[in-house]
Amino acid sequence: MKLNFSPEANDALDQLEQDPSNNSLCDAVWDTLDVIATEPDSARARRRVLRTPKGHSVWMVPVPNRHRENPWVILWQPRDGEALIAYIGPEDFNSER
């Protein structure tokens, strides 16, 4: 499945890739994105479902990384044969918006 990134998710990924101190987290994010791309219907790619106000499903997938206090997640949804990656960042995303 092709990955299509929202501007916010793309920016978050760019910031991770530019900071060498985040190499471990960046690798874990890419590993999680690979699971979404290659196994989009698997339990690993669809760990928890959230609902938008309009009732659409958005999948929340944790990014496995033991070296951070703040767990990170990826929010995504299938759209027209692609995976729309809506968010990459800390699990407490509600407090940021």
List pLDDT tens digits, range 48-75: 999 989 998 999 999 998 666 788 999 9
In this predicted structure, the answer to whether residue 95 has a pLDDT above a threshold of 50 is no
pLDDT at 94: 65
pLDDT bin (cut points 50, 70, 90) of residue 96 is very low
Amino acid of residue 36: I
pLDDT at 9: 97
Sign of CA pseudo-dihedral 70, 45, 12, 55: negative
pLDDT at 69: 75
Q: Which of 93, 31, 97 is nearest to 64 (CA)?
A: 31
Tokens 């990014």, residue located: 63
Q: Which of 74, 11, 91 is nearest to 40 (CA)?
A: 74
